[in-house]
Amino acid sequence: MFKACGIHKSYPGVKALSDLDLDLRAGEVHALVGENGAGKSTLARIMGGIDTPDSGQMHLNELPYHPQNRAQAESSGVRMVMQELNLIGNLSVAENIFFDHLPNRFGIVNTNRLNQDARQIMQRVGLGDIDPGIKVRDLGIGQQQMVEIAAGLSQRCRIMILDEPTASLTDKETALLFDQIKKLQTERVGIVYISHRIEEIITISDRITVLRDGKLVATRPTGAVTSSDIIRMMVGRDLSAETCKRQRKPGQVALRVKGLSHRDKVKNVSFEVHRGEILGFAGLMGSGRTETMRALFGADRADEGKIYLYGADTPARIRTPRDAVRAGMAFITEDRKEQGLLPALPVRMNITLGRLGRISRLGLIDAARERAIADEYIDLLSIRCRSCEQPVRQLSGGNQQKVVISKWLHKDCDILIFDEPTRGIDVGAKFEIYQLLGELADKGKAIIVISSDVKELMAVCDHIAVISAGRLVAQFSGQEWTPEKIASAAFSEYIKNPTQGHQPNEA
Amino acid sequence: MKHKIKNLHTAVKDYIGMLVALTALLAIFGLSTKNFFTFTTFRTIANQIPAITIMAVGMTFVLIIAGIDLSVGSVLALSGAVLGVCIVNFKLPLPLAIIACMGVGLICGLINGFIVIKWKLPSFIVTLGMLEVARGAAYSVTGSRTMYIGPAVEVITETAALGLSLPFIIAVVIVIAGQFILARTVFGRYIIAIGTNEEAVRLSGIEPGPLKLWVFIICGVLASVAAVMHTARLSSANPNEGLGMELQAIAAVVIGGTSLMGGRGSVVSTFFGALIIAVLGAGLAQMGAQEPTKRIITGCVIVAAVILDTYRHRLSSRKIT
Amino acid sequence: MKHKIKNLHTAVKDYIGMLVALTALLAIFGLSTKNFFTFTTFRTIANQIPAITIMAVGMTFVLIIAGIDLSVGSVLALSGAVLGVCIVNFKLPLPLAIIACMGVGLICGLINGFIVIKWKLPSFIVTLGMLEVARGAAYSVTGSRTMYIGPAVEVITETAALGLSLPFIIAVVIVIAGQFILARTVFGRYIIAIGTNEEAVRLSGIEPGPLKLWVFIICGVLASVAAVMHTARLSSANPNEGLGMELQAIAAVVIGGTSLMGGRGSVVSTFFGALIIAVLGAGLAQMGAQEPTKRIITGCVIVAAVILDTYRHRLSSRKIT
Amino acid sequence: PKRNGGASTRPEVALIMKSLANEFFKTMEEGARSHQSMHADEYNLEVVGIKDELDVAQQISLVELMIARQVDAIVIAPADSQALIPVCKRAMDAGITVVNIDNKFDEGVLADKGVKLPFVGPDNRKGAYMAGEYLARRLAKADKVAVIEGAPNAFNGIQRKLGFEDAMAEHGIEIVSSQSGYWEMGKANQLASALVSEHPDIKAFLCANDSMALGAVAALKSAGKTDILVVGFDNILAVQELVKAGTILCTIDQHADQLAVFGIEYALEMLENKTAPADRQTPVDLITAKELQ
Ligand SMILES: Nc1ncnc2c1ncn2[C@@H]1O[C@H](COP(=O)(O)OP(=O)(O)OP(=O)(O)O)[C@@H](O)[C@H]1O
Ligand SMILES: Nc1ncnc2c1ncn2[C@@H]1O[C@H](COP(=O)(O)OP(=O)(O)OP(=O)(O)O)[C@@H](O)[C@H]1O
Ligand SMILES: [Mg+2]
Ligand SMILES: [Mg+2]
């Protein structure tokens, strides 16, 4: 039903797509996979009318299809959920969901109908507990992602493009999303599904198209390939997805948190991390993992709680991120666009920002040294960019994430907090990051990893703590954890007290 | 029912900072002057606010889309001048003259908006250019002279209903309409969205361009409506009028809690902001304050009102959690 | 070597828009007046730009952190007034008087910055308050009188080296120093980062507060340095000076391509911007243009220069591919 | 007539001025205040003014306020010679005595409104003519001069410009450029600088106030053209040394300190006698180095 042939697209300095063909059948889920920067989002944007190809033909139901903008694409029945969040923080959830077709008469918004309709759709994607009138700004990033998805589902369509919809979702929401996808399939909607989570793709898709460096590698029926086949096609070499987790010997206590509380998001959280140890944090979306780390890092002022560093007997005074960084802590935030990057500035400046002291003397920056260091990290994490002078804004999502990580590696801290470090990162790079986490731990750093992907946590962590509705409800170590145990812990507080947590606005 | 009460509650909370500031001002002036609480004082204030309020409503819209319009003072002068010329030189009847006057505001707003959108320039600099151009045009239209119009426009101020003058009523209607548009219409939603995240709006398939153009046009037209009120009040058109009025209008809007960063604002609050500025002016004049004192107090009150507003926000955001 | 050439090439490309605008202006004025290309004209322009340039350098820094400082004109008046009072009434020697004058600028900047940071207010409104307060203070310091100072300050303009007056040399030094700080120092890097994404800077463990405070202080101090130049040029201190100069300074900065949204800017370009404005003023006065013409042309040139600049950007981004 | 039984029966006089931040009006205000303190038993004085001379609307509000305050007399220096007439008429209708000082109301509009108001003040055109005349005697026929005008819509500014032009025309002196300096020193400085480079043979600058004259003098000094003559207006404190030294050729004193006093005395007289209003001219004097010795 949809066909694209010979699509070319270049951005200044890169060829994002070259001579790409794709076809999509009604009612199928067609997965697009490839490394970061392979061109998946570019293709999605072209289909969705946001970018125009330099050359190439597209046909929709045998008719030429060349949308000039998003509105034209949608009127042809092509809708998409973009990789980066594009919500309007100051508007309500309902208004965001129905943004381009607000129910109205003579231009006056029918608020009641809007909220009713929104509630219905939100129910479908598992946002039923949230008031449709609440501002999107007040939601956590995972919930925002769900709102994006809800907005995508809010209208009938013939083609639905989902660009990494699950990057910051937990299993629970992912399952709900898959239900919706199946429902769309029965309505004969063609679905393009982009993800870096190979298991997901194997579960949901009918066919898989692999891209590498903007070129088509292959299109195969899902049944005919294994996950290692896919990875080989993506990366161009073999990669054992199994982590090489070695037995580590934890050192002294690096960080001890006692009774940390912040508003009603974080309740009396205590834990400790040793040097050379990786502690994972699992939990449902919006459970307060991010809030815990923000309070710990001084990004929000904690109401209560003591933090003891490096085995000290007196609590450290951490009131601002500056205090935290001085005390040797690093925080790789989940929202790289708003909280991690200087989007308009070159990669080089982003990497060195946290530690300009190393490249300057008497307050003067040594430009050559700065470039050298930036290139070093670009190499180390194989960041795909034109040069260290390219604005980060122009990098693909995964590469942006690597830039954020480079910034903190360069800062060289002893305690590193990674909040969803692999969000939007391809398998190859994910593997590199796991390895990196391992190496850092081996070097005696204390590491905290938050992830919505439990398998990922189980692969890299020495211990896993589970947060539920702001409380630390369980801690598992080594061999005692199973996905089921973790999941039931994550739900525990909500079952005990069903009104909590998910409705922050009902005071 | 519960909903209503909650709404009222929210409304009071929204305006509490300004109500406090206003009450404080009134109390201070009431105590320090003899005849502050008289009918005439209030009539004076009611006479003064229409022009600045109407202008500030337009400015609210512009600030909400994260723009700014520095040209409103000059546009007021130019459209007032055109009004004068139409009545005095061309002997047009008042309604036609008013249409011509509003046409001028429309064109100025259109030009501002067009340039801002077409070349993606910051509105600050575009409207700064318009500030100069419109002022120059006002001089050239009037030959740099004040033009006496007289009874032909005075009818506007003299018309009254329920003891309120026509300009005041129009101002209130514009405030209500503005608030309605902002809070209840699709257009209002879109401009708030543009102010919050223009790129996201564009990516949602809605072109921000035409919407922004409309906002600048509204601002220009409202500046010319303000010009009608102002001219009626002065019985004459003076090409120097409205000098620095843009900053006053912005101050009114910002005191009202509208963010200069866009995406947030309320027309009703703007009205309170204008009221605070007018009361301050009237009160200081009644006290017979010296110019330096006036300036210093005005500056401090502007900042204090905004500081007060931040506490209101903290208060209300704490309530929510 | 190759690097050098590339640098030169980039530099020319960076400034090409403004160089074109400047050349066009010079050509037009050269053709339409008799004596434009004379030594006197250039000395006149060289005399006029130091104050506005120095002020605009400070403004560049403020705009880069996505702030704005509307108070610079009033701060110029106030610190000029203090300079005058120190010399005339207190009979202080010039260096001490200059220190007092710069102290005033420092305090004003400090207050601006402190309020902006402490209550997280938009600098627009805080400095609008300071605009009023500093103007009021200037009136009260001088008793609303013009103060003739005479030779005691004229020495500043009369000192010259290599045919260039001291103020001009100081202005150029400040421009160079400003550009150096912006492009080469840690401080400069931090303020660019703050202008781009303040939250990200904060979460990287760098407190933006103190840095922003410094920026406002720099802007205040530079406004008072501009006051010294201005007062020296006029031999007298007048509490009404500097009215509307903030908009001129902003225009200079923005013509120079600095973004009002923060995160991007160049001090050297600001200097060109100030030059364009000065040449425009001098040229129009030489032509004997009437006020309306002057205003209209000034407005158009401001906008045209900024539009031209957008093409420069497109040009240079196309070059890269 | 309408004191509401206050403690004092002294008449309440309101002096409504233009800019209170302008030296000329400041002097006027001080003159009025010291007069009142010497005659404290005769009347009460209230002085108000506006931000700058352009803020006409605010001045209208001030008159309205004074009507509200039920003062007995208003002495007003109108910021605009037309726009203030309707509100003054309202004041008169309310039984308040109104005296116009400094800037004369427009005759046509007064007649149109059927208002009769006494004017007490100087003849700016005559003053400017006197200064121009004094200058012309030092110049030759066909010499070139430039005028730096006040704000283009200010009545006194226009009058002064006309006065300068009268004198120049009479002596056959050419005005090569006439531009507005908006009463401001800095603007005048810029204009003068530009004009000397465009017209190197210029012989004199006629400035509509002393601040602008100061600006012009500074411009000439930095251009090294100290032989060019400068004429000012207002005789403010700051120029007196310069007039003595001959740097500024002459200025005009309109006796600012007496202006308001004349107006107040006139108003009191009217309250007392209910005399028919008639205009009264106040003196304008040429000030040169000789007068200041
Ligand atoms: N606006 C842009 N300007 C310049 N280059 C761009 C732009 N957008 C994308 N690119 C480049 O195009 C290439 C493909 O990017 P794209 O976003 O399609 O990758 P992707 O496959 O979606 O990667 P990811 O998995 O990281 O999201 C990348 O090299 C990227 O740097
Ligand atoms: N800026 C904010 N203002 C108000 N509430 C917020 C804000 N950010 C998050 N929340 C709320 O705080 C709760 C915890 O969110 P948080 O982001 O810490 O969760 P999380 O466990 O990290 O999950 P995820 O990141 O997957 O959403 C959620 O209910 C969310 O709605
Ligand atoms: Mg992508
Ligand atoms: Mg989170």
- Asked whether A174 lines ligand 2 (CB < 6 A), one says no
D22 DSSP assignment = S
Nearest-Cα distance to chain B for D190, in Å, is 18
Q: Are A2 and A59 in contact (CB under 8 A)?
A: yes
**Most confident residue range from A22-31, B145-154, B236-245, C38-47:** A22-31
Select from C186, C196, C205 the Cβ nearest to the Cβ of A324: C205
**Tokens standing for residue C319:** 């070059």
**Rounded mean pLDDT, B191-215:** 91
Report the residue among A32, A396, A402 best suited for mutation to probe ligand 1: largest number of ligand atoms under 8 A from its CB: A396
**Tokens standing for residue C185:** 């120092």
pLDDT band for position B264 (50/70/90)?
Answer: confident
Cβ-Cβ contacts under 8 Å, D198 against chain C: 33-36, 41, 285-288
Dump the DSSP string for B164-210: EEHHHHHHHHHHHHHHHHHHHBHHHHHHHHHHH-HHHHHHTT--HHH
CA nearest ligand 2 atom 8, residue: A140
Touch between A and B (at least 3 CB pairs under 8 Å): yes
- Asked whether A36 lines ligand 2 (CB < 6 A), one says no
Report the residue among A90, A130, A138 best suited for mutation to probe ligand 2: largest number of ligand atoms under 8 A from its CB: A138
Strand ranges, E, within D192-289 = 202-207, 229-231, 250-253, 280-281, 285-288
Return the domain boundaries, chain B. Answer: 37-316
pLDDT value at B268 more than 90 = yes
Q: pLDDT digits over B33-79, tens only?
A: 777 787 777 877 888 889 999 999 999 999 999 999 999 999 999 99
Q: Are C57 and C178 in contact (CB under 8 A)?
A: yes
Nearest-Cα distance to chain D for B221, in Å, is 21
pLDDT band for position D6 (50/70/90)?
Answer: very low
pLDDT band for position C88 (50/70/90)?
Answer: very high
Check residue C315 and give its pLDDT.
59
A320-324, B16-20, C136-140, D79-83: range with lowest mean pLDDT: B16-20
Higher pLDDT, B13 or A135: A135
Q: pLDDT digits over C162-171, tens only?
A: 778 899 999 9
pLDDT value at B279 more than 70 = yes
pLDDT band for position C318 (50/70/90)?
Answer: very low
**Tokens standing for residue B157:** 């101020």
Residue in chain C closest to D19 (alpha carbons) equals: C144
Which atom number of ligand 2 is nearest to the Cα of residue A130?
A: 31
CA-wise closest residue to A177 among A141, A203, A159: A203
Helix or strand or coil: residue C307?
Answer: helix
Select from C185, C186, C200 the Cβ nearest to the Cβ of A342: C200
Q: What are phi and psi of D60, to 5 degrees?
A: -60, -45
A132-141, A232-241, D230-239: range with lowest mean pLDDT: A232-241
Cβ-Cβ contacts under 8 Å, B200 against chain A: 86-88
**Most confident residue range from A9-18, A416-425, C62-71:** C62-71
Cα of A193 to ligand 3 centre, how many Å? 11
CA nearest ligand 2 atom 28, residue: A286
**Rounded mean pLDDT, A15-36:** 90
Interchain pair A90, B263: CB under 8 A: yes
Cβ-Cβ contacts under 8 Å, C189 against chain A: 349, 353, 356, 365
Higher pLDDT, A501 or A165: A165
Q: Which of D12, D64, D85, D178 to mutate to test the interface with B (most CBs of B within 10 A)?
A: D64
pLDDT value at B133 more than 70 = yes
pLDDT value at C85 more than 90 = yes
Strand ranges, E, within chain B = 147-148, 160-161, 164-165, 236-237
Higher pLDDT, B8 or A292: A292
Select from C119, C251, C297 the Cβ nearest to the Cβ of B310: C119
- Which residues on neighbouring strands pair with residue D73, listed in sequence order? D13, D97
Select from A322, A343, A354 the Cβ nearest to the Cβ of C197: A343
- Tell me how far apart the alpha carbons of residues B241 and D120 are, in angstroms, rounded to a whole number: 26
Helix or strand or coil: residue A18?
Answer: strand
**Rounded mean pLDDT, B202-212:** 90
Select from B35, B38, B238 the Cβ nearest to the Cβ of D80: B238
The DSSP element (H or E) to which A193 belongs, if any, is strand A190-194
Q: pLDDT digits over A445-493, tens only?
A: 999 999 988 888 888 888 999 998 888 998 998 778 888 888 888 888 7
pLDDT band for position B30 (50/70/90)?
Answer: confident
Share of chain A above pLDDT 70, in %: 95
Ligand 1-lining residues (CB < 6 angstroms):
A 11-12, 14, 16, 34, 36-42, 83, 384, 394-398, 424, 426
Interchain pair B193, A88: CB under 8 A: yes
Residue in chain C closest to A327 (alpha carbons) equals: C205
Report the residue among A15, A42, A166 best suited for mutation to probe ligand 1: largest number of ligand atoms under 8 A from its CB: A42
CA-wise closest residue to D35 among D229, D202, D259: D259
The fold of B37-316 is ABC transporter involved in vitamin B12 uptake, BtuC (1.10.3470)
pLDDT value at A317 more than 70 = yes
CA nearest ligand 1 atom 31, residue: A395
CA-wise closest residue to A503 among A127, A41, A226: A127
Mode of pairing for the β-strands spanning A215-221 and A207-212: antiparallel
- Which residues on neighbouring strands pair with residue A309, listed in sequence order? A255
Q: pLDDT digits over C150-194, tens only?
A: 888 888 888 877 778 899 999 999 999 999 999 999 999 999 999
- Contact of D21 with chain C, judged by CB distance below 8 Å, is answered with yes
Taking CB atoms and an 8 Å cut-off, how many pairs form between chains A and B?
74
Share of chain B above pLDDT 90, in %: 50
The DSSP element (H or E) to which D16 belongs, if any, is strand D12-19
- Which residues on neighbouring strands pair with residue A216, listed in sequence order? A211
> Which residue type, as a one-letter code, is found at position A134?
I
pLDDT value at D22 more than 80 = no
| Ligand with the closest atom to the CA of A137 | 2
Note the Cα C154 to chain centre separation in Å: 22
Q: pLDDT digits over D178-220, tens only?
A: 988 888 888 899 899 888 888 889 999 999 999 899 999 999 9
Cα of D215 to ligand 1 centre, how many Å? 60
Taking CB atoms and an 8 Å cut-off, how many pairs form between chains B and D?
101
Q: Which chains touch B (3 or more CB pairs under 8 A)?
A: A, C, D
- Tell me how far apart the alpha carbons of residues C69 and C127 are, in angstroms, rounded to a whole number: 6
pLDDT band for position D7 (50/70/90)?
Answer: very low
Q: pLDDT digits over A85-100, tens only?
A: 888 988 999 999 998 8
Q: pLDDT digits over B168-189, tens only?
A: 999 999 999 999 999 999 999 9
Q: What is the mean pLDDT of chain D?
A: 87
CA nearest ligand 2 atom 17, residue: A140
Check residue B321 and give its pLDDT.
31
Q: What is the mean pLDDT of chain A?
A: 87
Nearest-Cα distance to chain B for D197, in Å, is 25
pLDDT value at B320 more than 60 = no
pLDDT band for position A426 (50/70/90)?
Answer: confident
- Asked whether A164 lines ligand 2 (CB < 6 A), one says no
pLDDT value at A12 more than 80 = no
Give the 3-state secondary structure of A402-449: HHHHHHHHHHCCCEEEEECCCCCCCHHHHHHHHHHHHHHHHCCCEEEE
Q: Is A361 exposed, middle or buried (0-12, 13-18, 19+ CB in 10 A)?
A: exposed
Residues across chain D = 293
Q: pLDDT digits over A191-230, tens only?
A: 999 988 888 889 999 999 999 888 898 899 998 888 888 8
Interchain pair C144, D179: CB under 8 A: no
Cα of C204 to ligand 1 centre, how many Å? 25
Q: How many CB atoms lie within 10 A of CB B185?
A: 17
Select from C204, C205, C263 the Cβ nearest to the Cβ of A344: C263
Q: pLDDT digits over C284-316, tens only?
A: 988 888 888 988 999 999 898 888 877 776 655
- Contact of D153 with chain B, judged by CB distance below 8 Å, is answered with yes
Residues in contact with C190: Cβ distance below 8 Å, sequence separation at least 6, in sequence order: A356, C201, C206, C211
Cα of A396 to ligand 1 centre, how many Å? 4
The DSSP element (H or E) to which B115 belongs, if any, is helix B94-118
**Rounded mean pLDDT, A373-396:** 89
- Tell me how far apart the alpha carbons of residues A196 and A175 are, in angstroms, rounded to a whole number: 16
Check residue D2 and give its pLDDT.
43
Residue in chain B closest to D47 (alpha carbons) equals: B288
**Tokens standing for residue C40:** 């006197």
Residue in chain B closest to A82 (alpha carbons) equals: B203
Cβ-Cβ contacts under 8 Å, A403 against chain C: none
Check residue B68 and give its pLDDT.
94
